[in-house]
Structure 1
Amino acid sequence: MAAVLAGLTLTSCAGGPFSAPAAFEVDPVYLDPELSGSVEQLRPITDFCGDRPIKVALADGVGDNAFRKTARAEFEDEAAKCPNLEVLPYADGQNNPQKAISDIKALVALGVDALVVFPDAGPALIPTLREAFEAGVAVVPYTASPGGTPGVDYTTFVGHNTVTDGAKWAEWVCNALGPKGGNAIFLGGTPGNAQSLSEIHGIEDELATNPDCRNVTLLNDPGAPIDTGWNPAQTQRVVSGLLAKYPKIDAVITDSGDSSLGGIRAFLQAGRPLPVWTANDNNGFACAYVENKPKQPQFQIVAVTSRTWIIRLALRKAVAAAQDIPEPEPDIVNVPIVMNSLDPDLAPTCDPDLPASAVTSSQLSTDKLAEIYR
């Protein structure tokens, strides 16, 4: 992973169905060590509630997957710790950039003071975020950077280092496949989202610079995640098409344990051996491993935390800014691997009392996790 932060402009001339934008530059926020930190540096929201009653809101670009459902519950759980916060109605952009823009404008019209946004539409949202910020709203996009400039277009950006996530996954895949290598695919989320674009940069850089990866071939067009919408049903359709196209897929790199379940179903229905697989943690992903491993010894998995709890940090940043309280927590949190079938200390475990979509590394209680999916 040594070279993962070098050469940060990624270009693509490929014209295939999964082409990346003509040029994508990794957001420099991921490169600034002064913005990064660990989970040990995080603080309770009660340090930042303030005294003034304020309105808070969450605007999602798309809300129909396990990550967003869990993150929404974490947002509401965190807000409930401050008695002076009023939570405005949740906004689901339904994977429609124009609706996402309209949602943000509507929340501003409702008098929101602190707004957390998952900017699936990327840079297309910048004018709307800037308009809200200039109107006096504390605006904090999280997880997928929309670009733009903190302090000019919005208050700050909160997330985890998606570039190094990609590099971690690629490094693990190369070790899992061993010297023989093999063919790998990377499944991203919604079209054009910065999270998946940053992750594939880390993947490609690791594959290009790590000697252990010399025999691993990424089948994606250069710089282009294969879009799945982070939706299990869509992922199943996409992977079924890829299996028809490629007779040999040895590794699947994804950034979603939930959507991975659709991909695993596609392999099983096609009668193809399950490959080594990366994701973010998810109870169903762990259960799929436990269920299939006895019959498929080649099947191995790894997962970083799904970090749905980072939305809590985004809310704290937004509330502190709205209350004019200094907020010293890191903007970018380095997240750990929480599940690794090749490491006995991190062996995947299936919780039969939780639904498949449950994000087990969340900060919600077991009862609240189960309630989300009832």
Structure 2
Amino acid sequence: MKKFYAYLIAIGMVASLAGCSGGAKEAPTTAAPATTAATEAETKAEETKEESKAETSAAAAETIAQSVDLSAALEGLPKDFGKGKKVGLAQMHYTNAFRIAETNSVLEAFEGAGFEVVWNEAKNDTATQISNVNDLLAQDIDYLLLPPKEEEGLVPALEAAKAAGVPVILLDRSANGTPGEDYVTAIRSNAEAEGEWCADWVIKNYPDKCNVVEIFGAPGSTTAMDRSKGFMATIKGHDNIVLLESQVGNNMRSEAQVCMENLIQAYGDEIDVVVTHSDEMTFGALQAIDGMGLVPGEDIDVLSIGDGSSAMLQEIIDGRVAACSECSPLLGPQALQVVAALEQGMEVDGLIWANDRFFTVDNAATELEKAGW
């Protein structure tokens, strides 16, 4: 039994817990039962198929589909082509490393091109973000950059920008509406693929049995829904992988810590893997695991479906986090390319993928050397 078992007894929470491996260990070797040649051939074919799928998934996880190349839009334009123009950023909040890095990326890219940038933050509240959009529109901005708090909830903001004739570029999430009509484009990570990458890791490292708990991001957000969708769709059909429970952490470290504490108290030694939807929530889960006397990476494997900060890469190197799907917040340069294209009447695709990767112990040290946040 893991030391958690003794820990629970010590505090009188439970009398006993069902034992279950809490780490990604090699499956024990057992003698194969007698079988016919046909059955052996079928089994071998199935194993080969699964190995091929795992190899394909691993290769695909190294990089996502390349984003639309708009770099040519900046060619021929003066370095300060934005002089005399104003860009507004309606940030959803400014309380974690991802949002701070995204905001700084926008400021650096646009101010470097001569734009005036005005911005505000909504303290993670949809109604406030809508109000903030209206405040920015009242300042006669030429372009609006918007990371939507919710997919449905930001429709009034899009309508207000459309009525004001201000082009909207969505950052890191999508919103309900039609690209090219309600907004220009969405620059975001392929969150569904991010979930698939982490699911592939679980399938590969837990061939026998795995109990998973999920800490979900922000309800109603495209990113959270797609991350969960990708993960769940990939493990579907793998009866050995069981989702014990999903709780909402709202992409907040403190809330995720409480979620993880609750999950450990409820399931204890049964948990093999925790999957969170952001680095911030992963850090909260780590704090909870540490606080409950467990060892991340030994008692419970930890996976982060986004974001891939330098701090998270270090956790992977240290063995406390197993893997992380990248969701880069450094979208300022791509947003600037979109604006440059619009300034010249060029066509812009309605969805632009960020160039994201999948981090494990195999590449974390190398990627840390060039991490931008």
When normalised by structure 2's length, the TM-score is 0.73
Structure 1 residue 99: Cα displacement: 0.7
Question: Partners in 2 of 1:179 and 1:94 — Cα distance?
Answer: 42
Q: How does 1:91-130 map to 2 (within 5 A)?
A: 91-130=120-159
Q: In structure 2, do the counterparts of structure 1 residues 219 and 62 end up closer, same or farther at CA, with 3 Å as the change threshold? A: farther
Question: Which residue is equivalent to 1:192?
Answer: 220
Question: Partners in 1 of 2:249 and 2:332 — Cα distance?
Answer: 22
Over aligned residues, Cα RMSD in angstroms? Answer: 2.7
Q: How does 1:280-319 map to 2 (within 5 A)?
A: 280-291=307-318, 293=319, 301-318=322-339
1:339 matched to 2:359? The reply is: yes
Question: Which residue is equivalent to 1:216?
Answer: 241
1:245 matched to 2:266? The reply is: yes
Question: Which residue is equivalent to 1:72?
Answer: 103
Q: How does 1:24-173 map to 2 (within 5 A)?
A: 37-38=65-66, 41=69, 43=71, 46-47=74-75, 50=81, 53-83=84-114, 85-88=115-118, 90-173=119-202
Question: Partners in 2 of 1:193 and 1:40 — Cα distance?
Answer: 23
Structure 1 residue 237: Cα displacement: 1.6
Q: Could you tell me whether the CA contact under 8 Å between 2:184 and 2:350 is conserved in 1?
A: no
Deviation digits for residues 272-295 of structure 1 (CA, Å, limit 9, x no counterpart): 34222222212222333444x3xx
Give the one of 271, 281, 288 matched to 1:266: 288
Structure 1 residue 159: Cα displacement: 1.1
1:203 matched to 2:231? The reply is: yes
Q: Which amino acid aligns with 1:238?
A: C
Q: Could you tell me whether the CA contact under 8 Å between 2:94 and 2:121 is conserved in 1?
A: yes
Q: In structure 2, do the counterparts of structure 1 residues 44 and 185 end up closer, same or farther at CA, with 3 Å as the change threshold? A: farther
Q: Which amino acid aligns with 1:231?
A: M
SS class of match (1:307): coil
Q: In structure 2, do the counterparts of structure 1 residues 44 and 103 end up closer, same or farther at CA, with 3 Å as the change threshold? A: farther
Q: In structure 2, do the counterparts of structure 1 residues 338 and 171 end up closer, same or farther at CA, with 3 Å as the change threshold? A: closer
Question: Partners in 2 of 1:51 and 1:231 — Cα distance?
Answer: 35
Structure 1 residue 192: Cα displacement: 1.9
Structure 1 residue 335: Cα displacement: 3.5
Moved more, 159-168 or 276-285: 276-285
Gaps of 5+ in 1: 1-35, 294-298, 355-359, 363-368, 370-374
Q: Which amino acid aligns with 1:325?
A: G
Q: Which amino acid aligns with 2:142?
A: D
Q: In structure 2, do the counterparts of structure 1 residues 140 and 220 end up closer, same or farther at CA, with 3 Å as the change threshold? A: farther
Q: Which amino acid aligns with 1:287?
A: Q
Question: Which residue is equivalent to 2:3?
Answer: none
Question: Partners in 2 of 1:109 and 1:319 — Cα distance?
Answer: 23
Structure 1 residue 302: Cα displacement: 1.2
Question: Partners in 1 of 2:326 and 2:70 — Cα distance?
Answer: 16
Structure 1 residue 67: Cα displacement: 0.5
Deviation digits for residues 206-258 of structure 1 (CA, Å, limit 9, x no counterpart): 0114xxx431112235xxxx322222222212211111112222112223223
Question: Partners in 2 of 1:123 and 1:40 — Cα distance?
Answer: 26
Q: In structure 2, do the counterparts of structure 1 residues 350 and 198 end up closer, same or farther at CA, with 3 Å as the change threshold? A: closer
Q: Could you tell me whether the CA contact under 8 Å between 1:339 and 1:348 is conserved in 2?
A: no
Question: Partners in 1 of 2:321 and 2:200 — Cα distance?
Answer: 14
Structure 1 residue 186: Cα displacement: 2.2
Deviation digits for residues 268-319 of structure 1 (CA, Å, limit 9, x no counterpart): 111234222222212222333444x3xxxxx551123231123432343245
Q: Which amino acid aligns with 1:217?
A: V
Gaps of 5+ in 2: 1-63
Deviation digits for residues 102-122 of structure 1 (CA, Å, limit 9, x no counterpart): 000000000111111110132
Question: Partners in 2 of 1:130 and 1:324 — Cα distance?
Answer: 24
Q: Which amino acid aligns with 1:87?
A: V
Question: Partners in 1 of 2:212 and 2:331 — Cα distance?
Answer: 29
Aligned residues: 301
